[in-house]
Amino acid sequence: MWGCANASFAEFGGGLGVLVCLLLLTLLLLMAVKVGRLGASTGGNTVDSKDSLALLKNRLANGEITLDEFNALKQVLH
């Protein structure tokens, strides 16, 4: 379509095909970097121990776990 698949790029506006191909590749690369950073910024599956301790405290306060369960889980975090 834009001359990316064949060796002759001159058929689409005298070199404009090369420019379009480079633009598309650049956009794809930028999108891949953006998606990669998005995955890294959300933290993936990693959880900070402070966040985990805060969750445990909330669960204890809400009565979801007992004090013994809280202390056992807290030891696992540290």
Q: Tell the residue number behind the tokens 């969750």, with chain if given.
A: 55
**Average of per-residue pLDDT values in the chain:** 77
| Domain limits, the chain | 1-46, 47-78
Instruction: Say if residues 9 and 18 touch (Cβ distance below 8 Å).
Output: yes
32: its two tokens = 């891949």
The better pLDDT of the pair 12, 19 is held by: 19
Dist. CA 14–CA 24, nearest whole Å: 18
* Per-residue pLDDT at 39 exceeds 80: no
Q: Quick one: angle between helices 67-77 and 49-61, nearest 10?
A: 180
Q: Could you tell me which residue, 55 or 11, shows the higher pLDDT? A: 55
- What is residue 45's predicted lDDT score, i.e. its pLDDT? 55
